[in-house]
Amino acid sequence: MGRMLRELPATARALTRAAKRGCTSPAGLAFALVAALAFALASCSDEEPAKRVDLTKRVEITAPGAPEGVTYAYLPQYSHAISYKRHRGLVDYLTRATGIPVRQVFPATFDEHVNMVARGEIDISFSNPFIYTRLAKLGSRVFARIVEPTGEPYFRGQIICRRDNRAIRTLADCRGKHWIAVDPFSAGGFLFALGLFHDNGIARSDFAEVAFAPGPGGSQEKVVMAVYAGTYDVGSVREGTLDLLKGRIELDRIRVLARTRAYPGWLYSARRGLDQDKVQKIAKAMFKLSMKDPEAAAILSTAGMRAIIPARDEEYAPILDLVRRLGLEDGRP
Amino acid sequence: MTSTLRFRTKLNLGIITIVAATALVLALVISQVAARALEDESKRTGSVLVENLSMRAAEPLLGGDLLRLKDLVDELPQVEENILYAFVTDDSGRVLVHTFQGGFPVQLTTANTTPEGRGVAIQLLDTGQELVYDFAAPVLVAGDRLGSVRLGLTRQKVLSVVNRLLWAVYATAGTAFVAALLASTYFAGRVTRRLNALRCHAEEIVRGNLDHQAAPPVYRNCWEVLDCGSEQCPAYGTRGACCWHLAGALNPACKTGDCPGAGKTCDVCPVYLENRGDEIQELAETFDVMSRALKTHIEELRAAEARVKRQERLMRTVLDASPDQMSMVDDKLVYLAVNRTFSQALGRRPDEVAGLTSKDLFPPDDAARRDRDNLDVMRSGKPASREIPFFDGERDRWFHEVRLPVADADGRVIGLLRSARDITDMKEVQEQLIHSQKMESVGKLAGGVAHEINTPLGIILGYTQLLQEDAPEGGQLASDLAIIEKQAKVCRKIVADLLGFSRQTESAKLHMCFNNSVLEVVSLVQHAFSLDKVAIVTDMDDRMPIIYGDPEKLKQVWLNLLGNALDAMPEGGVIMVRTHLDTPRMQVTLEVVDSGQGIRREDLQKIFDPFYSTKPVGQGTGLGLSVSFGIIEDHDGSIRAASPAPEDLLRKARERAGILEDAVSGPGSILTVELPLDHTTEENEQA
């Protein structure tokens, strides 16, 4: 269009010259004007340059093989992108700090995560304590755990309902109700609550329905949203989830019915057979991260933790005990 | 060329050109804009799709899930039919999955460059078969580029949509064109029909039909709209004319009276609001006003013209009736107008003279004199008059010229009016008067002298006769006395003639036969004349007129006239004597015609003078015609001479006398005597 605008004055000048020569009748002038307009409009449809590409030259492609190095996986309770976003900094740090190429891999589900550990495709696993009970059976051993954003190396579960649900006053009222939990393998979002109900004499079968939040990523928030919307009567989330939704929903319409006891938090475990030297190096690098160091603080905050501290398998005895009490030893909820 | 086209055609052409140009421009603009919009939309769609793909590819790319990646690229053509291909590369540019069958076209990987940050790179590709928009977007997670996705969108579909749109636009433009053509034909027809009506009206006006009406009749006449009943209003009852075109219309809504033509107050006038038309009708109404005004003016002009023509005719009649030669010249001495007398004298028509000068009309000398005289009068500014002689080819004529300067309102001389009256007759009468006075004086003188001489002459004659008685016959004395007696008798004859001329002789008048008196003298001299080869023929009026006169004296007159004729014919000839009775005028005429040598013009007036003679000395006393003149005067008659004699009379005389033509030597002359029949007039006058 700009080219057209540039050309119009030139066309007008040509027309004026023609009119001055007196060789243009009024009708001819009108036609010349139309022709000039048409020309100007046609000239503004200038084609952008096309790059010549020969589509006939074909090759068969071959997928690249997996690179070498220690694989690092985050239990996929969020999408791969979020997992990547949260842990990329830490993975990069570990690579830099240890000199060992650490590569993050992304299992699609909890089961796949466990299976990949079993197949040796995941060397360092960052999982919740419930999954760890399964991994431990596969020979994985915990070597570190994180300090929660609350500042404690523990976390709890919460049972919530709508504040206007008059049918539910106590845990006992939950009998016969519809319960939505985060995931069958979620510790804070299902296992802890199930233990609490169990301790209060409410079995899983006492509920009219036990449902789990659909799809990957943000499952904790989905539970809150389902209760908030009234789709389910009660919900179970890990402590701190409600704060994530502050400003997006009216939190005062949600009532925390009960909170579970505190359990040790998320942990790092090394698969069976992983070179202990590498484990030590990685553990050492992890322990060096401190919130006092801005760079380290950024890495920690992005990963959703305040620090990584040493851990031993015994610290997870309460979890094992809970699993045992609930009859979930076979790893199937 | 266009000027020869009909207005209707021009109007049609104009409207069609405008519509066609507008439709063409609109079609072009719309198609261009639409094509661009569609292409932009296509690019936007491609960008959205490729960005969407890049976002959706992040998870399977991270997870190394090639199946999901393959599903992602494969499902795209189902979503958007224009998608030709899609593929995903890793961060090192290696193709992971694609939609092609039978291998991957290797040139595609380098055909477009994925932007470093966020965004989409669009590159037009020419595959040889078609044009393809290639969209490239990076797969970004937390700012890290995991790889890129590419998408090919064919332009062919966009172009087909544009073409469909263009067809729709052109069809609409064509429909609009046809509609405009029909509408313009209809309206042009309406307008040109009315314009043609106006042209016909103008032609009618040119033909002089000023009663032709151009404007259509009004819907309702103003007196019907207003129900005013004011019959004194000029618009009342005037059909075919709008009141706002009539000066002095008494429409109460029309306060300003600014007629003709619609004024400001007309905008609220019910008559105007009901009957007003468009511009063409206003033009037609103005035409009607114009033709009415023209008609009025023409009628006034015709009336004025008729008045002027009547005045002019009167003036011309007055001028033409005048025996005077009247002419008017301007300050350049060019003739402006002359009357009929003037132009007849020149042998021309009056309108032929106007615009000419004296040099064109008169001989050089005469013209110069006239111009000189005219200029003198115009310079002096004072009228001038004089008498001038003029020889008209036959005789001298006298004119009395009056020149009057003609001045304009400022007193400046702008021309000259000349009037010339023929006073020849007056001059002649004047001369005759002088002549008769002279004759009377001569008569008195001669009478006195003769009377005084008569007595001593009688004594001389008496004593001579006494002496003759004493003188012996045959002697010298007797011979001398005889000479004295003879010469004394001659003197007595002269004295007697003088006394007769001066009418101092007694006359003895009585009723007498005029013919007999003449015939008596003719028969007396006929024989003597024949000896001189002069024949006398007579043509007497057979009514035998009787007159009261002195027979002897009249015989003397006849004798003198015949003698005079004889003297004019020394070689012989013929004399014809005619008498004629003119009963109504109560007079009798005698004509003596001779075939002699005639009388010279200058002699005609003098031949009746005493002692005037053309004869050699000793052959006549010059008293014959004078005495005759005196006798005829004494009889209250008249005598006159003319020469040459009338040809028919001469021929008649020769025929009667049997004389051949070549025997006649001269033009001849005629002497006419008229005598009153009755003497009662004279007696009454004397009484």
Mean pLDDT, range A153-176, rounded to an integer? 91
Say yes or no to pLDDT of A42 above 70: no
- For residue B88, which phi and psi values (nearest 5 degrees)? -125, 135
> What is the C-alpha separation between B277 and B260, in angstroms, rounded?
16
Instruction: Give me the count of residues in chain A.
Output: 333
| Chains A, B: CB pairs < 8 Å | 118
Across the interface, which of A41, A59, A81 has its CB nearest the CB of B28?
A41
Question: Given an 8 Å threshold on Cβ–Cβ distance, is B124 in contact with A54?
Answer: no
Whether B122 and B80 share a structural domain: yes
The amino acid present at B389, given as its one-letter code, is: P
A158–chain B nearest CA distance, Å: 30
Give the CATH number, domain containing residue B657.
3.30.565.10
pLDDT digits (tens, 9 = 90+) for B34-82: 778 888 888 888 899 999 899 888 888 888 888 888 998 998 888 888 8
Give the CATH number, domain containing residue B452.
1.10.287
If one compares A65 and A303, the residue with the highest pLDDT of the two is A303
Residues of B in contact with A51 (CB under 8 A): 111-112, 123-126
Whether A146 and A162 share a structural domain: no
Which two tokens mark B384? 């001038």
Look-up: residue for tokens 């905050």? A301
- pLDDT at position A36, please? 66
Residue B210 lies inside a defined structural domain of this protein: no
Question: Given an 8 Å threshold on Cβ–Cβ distance, is B63 in contact with A107?
Answer: yes
Give the CATH number, domain containing residue A105.
3.40.190.10
Whether B159 and B240 share a structural domain: no
Determine contact, residues B139/B58, Cβ cutoff 8 Å: yes
pLDDT digits (tens, 9 = 90+) for B85-98: 999 998 888 899 99
Which two tokens mark A292? 């006092």
pLDDT digits (tens, 9 = 90+) for B602-627: 788 778 877 777 766 556 667 778 88
Whether A148 and A180 share a structural domain: no
**Model confidence band, residue A287 (pLDDT cutoffs 50, 70, 90):** very high
> What is the C-alpha separation between A219 and A240, in angstroms, rounded?
13
Whether A169 and A257 share a structural domain: yes
Determine contact, residues A157/A101, Cβ cutoff 8 Å: no
- pLDDT at position A43, please? 53
Pairing of strands A263-264, A178-181: unpaired
Question: Does any CB of chain B come closer than 8 Å to the CB of residue A64?
Answer: yes
> What is the C-alpha separation between B94 and B354, in angstroms, rounded?
121
Cα-to-chain-centroid distance, residue B52 = 101
The amino acid present at B235, given as its one-letter code, is: A
- The closest of B146, B62, B140 to A80, measured between CA atoms, is B62
If one compares A26 and A245, the residue with the highest pLDDT of the two is A245
- pLDDT at position B662, please? 56
Mean pLDDT, range B210-226, rounded to an integer? 79
Q: Residue A249 has what DSSP assignment?
A: B
**CB contact set of B576 (below 8 Å; sequence gap of 6+):** B536, B537, B538, B539, B591, B592, B593, B594, B649, B650, B652, B653, B656
Look-up: residue for tokens 């002897």? B552
> What is the C-alpha separation between B122 and B135, in angstroms, rounded?
5
Mean pLDDT, range B217-237, rounded to an integer? 78
Whether B404 and B435 share a structural domain: no
Question: Does any CB of chain B come closer than 8 Å to the CB of residue A31?
Answer: yes
Whether A231 and A275 share a structural domain: no
Which two tokens mark A319? 């979890």
Residue A59 lies inside a defined structural domain of this protein: no
Say yes or no to pLDDT of A245 above 60: yes
Question: Given an 8 Å threshold on Cβ–Cβ distance, is A81 in contact with B58?
Answer: yes
Question: Given an 8 Å threshold on Cβ–Cβ distance, is A53 in contact with B13?
Answer: no
Across the interface, which of B18, B105, B142 has its CB nearest the CB of A88?
B142
- pLDDT at position A6, please? 45
Say yes or no to pLDDT of A259 above 70: yes
Residues of B in contact with A41 (CB under 8 A): 25, 28-29, 32
- pLDDT at position B661, please? 61
Residues of B in contact with A33 (CB under 8 A): 21
Mean pLDDT, range B162-182, rounded to an integer? 83
- The closest of A200, A191, A212 to A320, measured between CA atoms, is A191
pLDDT digits (tens, 9 = 90+) for A81-137: 888 989 999 999 999 999 999 999 998 888 889 999 999 999 999 998 989 998 999
Determine contact, residues B464/B485, Cβ cutoff 8 Å: yes
Whether A165 and A247 share a structural domain: yes
> What is the C-alpha separation between A282 and A301, in angstroms, rounded?
19
- Write the CA distances from B119 to A80, A117, B36, B122, B577, integer angstroms: 22, 38, 21, 10, 156
If one compares A48 and A94, the residue with the highest pLDDT of the two is A94
Determine contact, residues B650/B668, Cβ cutoff 8 Å: yes
> What is the C-alpha separation between B27 and B517, in angstroms, rounded?
133
- The closest of A180, A259, A267 to A220, measured between CA atoms, is A180
- pLDDT at position B253, please? 64
Look-up: residue for tokens 């005493």? B610
B166–chain A nearest CA distance, Å: 14
Across the interface, which of B29, B102, B127 has its CB nearest the CB of A58?
B102
Give, for A93, the enclosing helix (H) or strand (E). helix A80-98
> What is the C-alpha separation between B84 and B78, in angstroms, rounded?
11
- pLDDT at position B627, please? 82
Mean pLDDT, range A71-78, rounded to an integer? 87
B contact test, residue of A3, A41, A55, A122 with most B CBs within 10 A: A55
Residue B203 lies inside a defined structural domain of this protein: no
Mean pLDDT, range A258-275, rounded to an integer? 92
Number of domains in chain A: 3
- The closest of B298, B288, B299, B201 to B246, measured between CA atoms, is B288
Whether A91 and A169 share a structural domain: no
Question: Given an 8 Å threshold on Cβ–Cβ distance, is A27 in contact with B17?
Answer: yes
**Model confidence band, residue B588 (pLDDT cutoffs 50, 70, 90):** very high
**Model confidence band, residue B190 (pLDDT cutoffs 50, 70, 90):** confident
Determine contact, residues B328/B336, Cβ cutoff 8 Å: yes
**Model confidence band, residue A4 (pLDDT cutoffs 50, 70, 90):** very low
- pLDDT at position A71, please? 94
Give, for B177, the enclosing helix (H) or strand (E). helix B156-207
Mean pLDDT, range B492-506, rounded to an integer? 72
- pLDDT at position B303, please? 94
Question: Does any CB of chain B come closer than 8 Å to the CB of residue A56?
Answer: yes
- The closest of B36, B33, B50 to B87, measured between CA atoms, is B50
Whether A232 and A271 share a structural domain: no
Say yes or no to pLDDT of B307 above 70: yes
Whether B434 and B390 share a structural domain: no
Whether A253 and A209 share a structural domain: yes
CB atoms within 10 A of CB B33: 13
Whether B34 and B120 share a structural domain: yes
Residue A130 lies inside a defined structural domain of this protein: yes
If one compares A64 and B304, the residue with the highest pLDDT of the two is B304
> What is the C-alpha separation between B514 and B558, in angstroms, rounded?
11
Residue A209 lies inside a defined structural domain of this protein: yes
| Residues 73-132, chain A, touching B (beta carbon < 8 A) | 79-81, 83-85, 88, 105-108
B279–chain A nearest CA distance, Å: 25
% of chain B surpassing 70 pLDDT: 92
Residues of B in contact with A83 (CB under 8 A): 62
DSSP string for B382-394: S-EEEEEEEE-SS
CA B618, B622, B625, B628 torsion-angle sign: negative
Determine contact, residues B666/B597, Cβ cutoff 8 Å: yes
pLDDT digits (tens, 9 = 90+) for B654-682: 888 877 665 556 788 899 999 988 765 54
Residues of B in contact with A54 (CB under 8 A): 105, 107, 127-128
Whether B516 and B620 share a structural domain: yes
Residue B190 lies inside a defined structural domain of this protein: no
- pLDDT at position B602, please? 78
Q: Which residues pair with B124 in a beta bridge?
A: B133
DSSP string for A142-202: EEEEEEPTTSSSEE-EEEEEETT-TT-SSGGGGTTSEEEES-TT-IIIIIHHHHHHHHTT-
Whether B99 and B46 share a structural domain: yes
- pLDDT at position B161, please? 80
Whether A180 and A322 share a structural domain: no
Rounded to the nearest integer, the mean pLDDT of chain A is 84
Say yes or no to pLDDT of B595 above 90: no
Which two tokens mark B340? 């009929």
Which two tokens mark B223? 């007196």
Question: Does any CB of chain B come closer than 8 Å to the CB of residue A52?
Answer: yes
pLDDT digits (tens, 9 = 90+) for A138-147: 999 999 999 9
Whether A78 and A132 share a structural domain: yes
**Which of A208, A229, A261 is at the close of a domain?**
A261
Question: Given an 8 Å threshold on Cβ–Cβ distance, is A61 in contact with B94?
Answer: yes
Helix (H, G, I), strand (E, B) or coil at B146: strand
Rounded to the nearest integer, the mean pLDDT of chain B is 83
Which two tokens mark A196? 């609490």
Whether B521 and B614 share a structural domain: yes
Residue A145 lies inside a defined structural domain of this protein: yes
Residues of B in contact with A34 (CB under 8 A): 20-21, 24-25
**CB contact set of B486 (below 8 Å; sequence gap of 6+):** none
Question: Given an 8 Å threshold on Cβ–Cβ distance, is A27 in contact with B13?
Answer: yes
- Write the CA distances from A319 to A187, B137, B327, B579, integer angstroms: 9, 46, 158, 198
Say yes or no to pLDDT of B33 above 90: no
- pLDDT at position B687, please? 44
**Which of A217, A237, A261 is at the close of a domain?**
A261
Whether B489 and B521 share a structural domain: no
**Is residue B343 classed exposed, middle or buried when 0-12, 13-18 and 19+ CB atoms within 10 A define those classes?**
buried
- pLDDT at position B228, please? 78
> What is the C-alpha separation between B241 and B211, in angstroms, rounded?
12
Look-up: residue for tokens 């009037």? B419
Across the interface, which of A30, A42, A63 has its CB nearest the CB of B66?
A63
A contact test, residue of B31, B104, B145, B163 with most A CBs within 10 A: B104
B32–chain A nearest CA distance, Å: 7
Nearest chain B residue to A25 by CA distance is B2
Question: Given an 8 Å threshold on Cβ–Cβ distance, is A81 in contact with B17?
Answer: no
The amino acid present at B588, given as its one-letter code, is: V
B26–chain A nearest CA distance, Å: 10
Residue B314 lies inside a defined structural domain of this protein: no
- For residue B436, which phi and psi values (nearest 5 degrees)? -65, -35
Determine contact, residues B390/B399, Cβ cutoff 8 Å: yes
Question: Given an 8 Å threshold on Cβ–Cβ distance, is A105 in contact with B59?
Answer: no
CB atoms within 10 A of CB A301: 14
If one compares B395 and B198, the residue with the highest pLDDT of the two is B198
Across the interface, which of B35, B103, B141 has its CB nearest the CB of A45?
B35
Question: Does any CB of chain B come closer than 8 Å to the CB of residue A48?
Answer: yes
- For residue B230, which phi and psi values (nearest 5 degrees)? -85, 95
Query: Residue B460 sits in which domain range?
Result: 428-501
- pLDDT at position B240, please? 66
- pLDDT at position B502, please? 67
- The closest of B575, B499, B587 to B537, measured between CA atoms, is B575
Look-up: residue for tokens 């004089």? B386
Mean pLDDT, range A277-303, rounded to an integer? 93
Residues of A in contact with B25 (CB under 8 A): 34, 37-38, 41
Residue B376 lies inside a defined structural domain of this protein: yes
**Which of A224, A239, A261 is at the close of a domain?**
A261
pLDDT digits (tens, 9 = 90+) for B541-554: 888 888 888 888 88
Whether A146 and A163 share a structural domain: no
- The closest of A236, A184, A58 to B109, measured between CA atoms, is A58
Give the CATH number, domain containing residue B94.
3.30.450.20
Whether B147 and B110 share a structural domain: yes
Number of domains in chain B: 5
Across the interface, which of A34, A51, A106 has its CB nearest the CB of B25?
A34
Query: Residue A244 sits in which domain range?
Result: 157-261
Determine contact, residues A126/A140, Cβ cutoff 8 Å: no
Whether A170 and A225 share a structural domain: yes
Residue B130 lies inside a defined structural domain of this protein: yes
**Which of B243, B268, B301 is at the close of a domain?**
B301
CB atoms within 10 A of CB B79: 10
Question: Does any CB of chain B come closer than 8 Å to the CB of residue A23?
Answer: no
Whether B552 and B619 share a structural domain: yes
Stretch among A5-9, A78-82, A165-169, B336-340 having the lowest mean pLDDT: A5-9
- Interface predicted TM-score (ipTM): 0.73
Nearest chain B residue to A73 by CA distance is B63
**Which of B501, B530, B563 is at the close of a domain?**
B501
Mean pLDDT, range B222-226, rounded to an integer? 79
- pLDDT at position B680, please? 58
Question: Given an 8 Å threshold on Cβ–Cβ distance, is B102 in contact with A53?
Answer: no
Which two tokens mark B84? 């030709």
Q: What is the pTM of this model?
A: 0.49
The amino acid present at A254, given as its one-letter code, is: I
**Which of B234, B268, B301 is at the close of a domain?**
B301
3-state helix, strand, coil split of chain A in percent (to 5) is 45, 20, 35
CB atoms within 10 A of CB A265: 21
Residue A54 lies inside a defined structural domain of this protein: no
**Model confidence band, residue B572 (pLDDT cutoffs 50, 70, 90):** confident
